[in-house]
Chains A and B, each alone.
Chain A
Amino acid sequence: MKFIGYCFLIFFFLILFRFFYIQILQNNYYSTQAYDNSIKVIPIEPARGLIFDRNNTIIADNKLNYSLEVIPREIENLDILINKLNDVISIDTEDIKKYKRILNNNEYNQTIPIKSNLTKKELAEFAIQSYQFPNIKLKETLKRYYPKGSLGVHFLGYINRISKKDLSILEKEGKKENYIGTDHIGKAGVEFQYEQELHGESGFKQIEVNSIGKPLRTLKTYSAKEGNNIHLTIDLKIQKIAENAFKNKKGALIAMDPNNGEILAYVSMPIYDPGLFIDGISHKNWNKLNKSPDKPLLDRAINGLYPPGSTLKPFVAIAGLENQLRMPPFKINDPGYFYINNSRRFKDWKIGGHGEVDIIKAIAVSCDTFFYGLAIELGIPKLNKALANFGFGKKTGIDLPNEKAGLLADAKWKMKKYNKKWYSGETAITGIGQGFTQVTPIQLALATSKIALPNKSVIPHIKLNSQHLKQNTNNIAPIRVSNKTIAWVKEGMENVTEDGGTAAFIGKNIKYKIAAKTGTAQVFSLKDGEVYDEEKIPEKLRDHALFIAYAPAENPKIALAIVVENGGHGGSTAGPIAKKIFDYYLSSEYR
């Protein structure tokens, strides 16, 4: 009997100590657990900022979207659920594929859409039957919508669902908390570049829930701060004219205001639909875009590297003139070819040559012979220094991601890359824009606007009134080139669109004057003695057509650079595109 009494006592104190341990020593821990049990924080996604062009035309909009979403952890059998749901709303294999793709890529998002973009009819039908699906939540979100479709996709970019990789980046940058309720993030173009401004700040709602997660009441609400709207320097009308002018040719075009660096049109062809990415792009579509030989995903305007061809000649001319070489009235007599060391012969594009050529005519008729000799005499270091002055070989600083710097090659570079020495023939062809030199269309456009208005210091940019850009611009000195040099080069470029110039036909019947330079960049080289015949060469091996221009010549308001891949001769393919843009932009109705 006593033994039992002791047992009672031992058990009693054991229990008492246990309660003491849980209730007093671990009180904090369990209080937090109880709080976490009953209080759920529901993030509120901020509305993403809208994107407009310079005339307030909307390019990236938000549209109310209804989707059915599930928490994967709560789903015991997906197939059964989908079968059941299929009786109410049709769920096709594409929806299921999309769900599985997002599931693979997300651990962070609380819910995953099983069906998005519900129509009003589907919405009503689900609402009636929703009691059958306690695990499916009807989510109302603002979804990105690109009303202009693929127009301007390369500068606009797109958004995609936040991936695990994005998450780890956000975490490193300490921004993860702000994205707690956000499903999407900018992946390319302006959507990527200005992500921070467009995104806004997440809000959240504290709600009390019961054990099955049913919300009982809202305790606190911190509303989200919506993202800022962004106005671009782009003029969508010009953009559309430019894109249409390319027809189905590949290439790129940059049109900018040389007075301030505002990009008016930003074209890279072919284009694609940014809307494909919003819900996570399907494997099929991704493969189609990624494996296409036309490379639609490549942003040729800032990532496309091209040999500048003859469009480099005005800048080579400037390099010469600034080094006191070939100053008018200096002339050469062009027989149609140029010899280096009396051995290696370099052909001019015109059989028989251009006769007497000074530097002005050399630009107008694009005389190769003239520039071979100039380049040899100048030498690569002086030439590259002058070209760098116009922004070649380095990034322009445009406010878009992943810009390429291009290439100004020299002996040191060649030795490092190929372990071979530099030949003087390579200097000669550098003078006509062939060889190793590589430029991006944006670089060409910027360099052209520097010729048009040499006293302005501009950075090409796509966001209107960018404060950051203004500060940066102040740090850039205008190019230092003598007025005389500029005047001669300008005269040469103006003559391009006059009788005898390489793009004379576009200068006809217009009320303003265009200063331009054509260019043709070889995609593959002809063997000596072989004659280039466009008709006989497969299209992808045909020459790239290049064209730089500004107008009006006496008071430049627009400068542009065009590359038409495999477009043949620069003037005939790229010239008309430029003219359409000038005609529209400089017409009285536009102002």
Chain B
Amino acid sequence: MNIVSLQNYIFKKIDRPLFGSLTLILIIGLINLTSANQQDMTNTMSQIINIFIGVAFLYFICNIQTRTILTFAPWVYLITIILLFVVDFFGIKSHGAQRWISLGILNFQPSEILKISLPLILAWFYQKNTNKIDYKIHFLAGLLILIPFYLILTQPDLGTSILLLSGGLIIIFLAGLPTKFLITSFFGILLSSPFLWNSLLDYQKQRILSLLDPFSDPYGAGYHSIQSMIALGSGGIYGRGWLNGTQTSLDFLPETRTDFIFSVFSEEFGFLGVLAILSLYIFIFYRCMWMTSKMQDNFSRLLSAGLTISLFTGFIVNVAMISGLFPIVGVPLPFFSYGGTSMVVSLISIGIIMNLYSNKTLIAN
């Protein structure tokens, strides 16, 4: 066996265009994180570790049998739900929300894990009921979404819960829910929105209101939004240069490592840098969708599409948020923001997609 074929053997299941563009984003993300931390390397080092763990998971998952994933799906979901209950009772508070579980040296967010386990359980559920899909099945699938949705909403984590809800609904739609039902429920939500508004917490209302006019309360709720837009806008075409963004280095920008990491990048690398990164992201999502379209069975298609949409919504909400198009809801940018759970979960998602693509169909195994 020569070296080339050895390579081919080891990386057989890895989709090279996808992994190549991902590597590029991860490296740029590390460089940017260093600036966001004002050259403090501590976070960069632990982010490198996060990436290695994530890539190890990715490689491992790539190479297991798809049927194994199917088997484990309900268990993963069940464990995640249990963890969410644990969070609500024993979790660690941070920024007014209870999102974390502490395992000694390791803290992680069960709500992030849902980004995998929810598509998993839905794909599993529809796969189990392939031949009898009807409104009852759709309704039960809806219940599978609503349980974790409620648990996360009460943490409270508005951003993640909305992402999960929309991601889950798209999966149900893809599974064959009639379009007219979708439209009816859309108007239903629209009509019930006043009640939903009243059920929101004050800080959430504030955030939505400040979106409409962030400058109405420049030192209050609109502050983050304004500072982020200033960072973007002052970047211009070419950016202010790496480590040279005053919004970042002088602490005007909040949460530079996590939610506003892309504002740091936009300030220092300008519109051209933004264009490059956004193109990389859109390439990744298209590649994922293309791979999904090649899959044969319901489980693979729904799972792959669900994971892709989950990553995409995370991406789109984050960039919309930092550019003032969406309220500040605290959603990290996949592959870019600092944070172990998010990084590992995102890489596992990619790993699952690669697995599903390389095996094409459950039957093949």
User: Which A residues lie at the B interface, using CB under 8 A?
Assistant: 1, 4-5, 8, 11-12, 14-16, 18-20, 22-24, 26-27, 29-31, 33-35, 37-38, 208-212, 216
Contacts and interface: CB of A to CB of B under 8 A. Distances in A.
Interface stretch (B57-65, B71-79, B231-239): B231-239
B266 A19 contact: yes
B321 to A, nearest CB: 11
Contacts of B234: 27, 30-31, 33-35
User: 6 smallest A-B Cβ distances: which pairs?
Assistant: A30-B233, A34-B234, A211-B251, A23-B271, A210-B250, A27-B236
A84 B206 CA distance: 32
Nearest to B223: A211
| Majority DSSP secondary structure for residues of B touching A | helix
Nearest to A1: B293
Contacts of A20: 271
Contacts of A37: 227, 230, 246-247, 250, 252
Contact of B289 (A4, A19, A31): A4
Given A8-B285, A11-B312, A19-B271, 9 more contacts: A1-B293, A4-B289, A8-B286, A8-B289, A16-B275, A23-B235, A23-B274, A24-B237, A38-B246
Q: Which of A16, A20, A22, A27 has the most CB of B within 10 A?
A: A22
A110 to B, nearest CB: 16
A12 B282 contact: yes
B231 A34 contact: yes
Given A37-B246, A210-B250, A216-B250, A23 B236 contact: yes
Contacts of A38: 246-247, 250, 252
Contacts of B247: 34, 37-38
Interface of B: 170, 174, 227, 229-237, 246-247, 250-252, 266, 270-271, 274-275, 278, 282, 285-286, 289, 292-293, 305, 309, 312, 316, 319-320, 323-325
Contacts of A208: 246, 250
Given A19-B271, A38-B246, A212-B251, A31 B170 contact: no
A30 B312 contact: no
B324 to A, nearest CB: 8
Nearest to B319: A15
Nearest to B292: A1
A1 B251 contact: no
Contact of A19 (B174, B232, B286, B309): B232
B270 A23 contact: yes
A214 to B, nearest CB: 9
A1 B301 CA distance: 10
A19 B246 contact: no
B133 to A, nearest CB: 17
A24 B293 CA distance: 37
Given A11-B316, A15-B316, A30 B278 contact: no
Nearest to B170: A4
Of residues B234, B235, B250, B266, which shows the largest number of chain A Cβ atoms within 10 Å of its Cβ?
Answer: B234
B250 A211 contact: yes
A1 to B, nearest CB: 5
B322 to A, nearest CB: 10
A207 to B, nearest CB: 12
Given A18-B325, A23-B270, A31 B236 contact: yes
A31 B233 contact: yes
Q: Interface centre among A26, A30, A212, by most B CB within 10 Å?
A: A30
30 contacts: A1-B289, A1-B292, A1-B305, A4-B170, A8-B286, A8-B289, A14-B325, A15-B278, A15-B319, A15-B325, A18-B323, A18-B325, A19-B275, A20-B271, A22-B229, A23-B233, A23-B235, A23-B266, A23-B270, A23-B274, A24-B237, A26-B233, A31-B233, A33-B233, A33-B234, A34-B230, A34-B247, A34-B252, A38-B250, A212-B251
Contacts of A33: 230, 233-234
A16 B236 contact: no
Contacts of A210: 250-252
B181 to A, nearest CB: 15
Given A1-B292, A16-B275, A18-B323, A27 B252 contact: no
A30 B229 contact: yes
A31 to B, nearest CB: 5
Nearest to B316: A11
A116 B229 CA distance: 41
Nearest to A30: B233
Contact of B282 (A1, A8, A211): A8
A29 B250 CA distance: 19
A211 B286 CA distance: 40
A45 B105 CA distance: 55
Contacts of A1: 174, 289, 292-293, 305
A19 B281 CA distance: 15
A280 B250 CA distance: 38
A211 B252 CA distance: 5
Contact of A30 (B232, B237, B271): B232
Contacts of A30: 229-230, 232-234
Max chain B Cβ within 10 angstroms of own Cβ: one of A11, A18, A19, A37? A19
A16 B282 CA distance: 11
A19 B274 contact: yes
Contacts of B282: 8, 12
Contacts of B305: 1, 4
A34 B316 contact: no
Contact of B323 (A15, A24, A216): A15
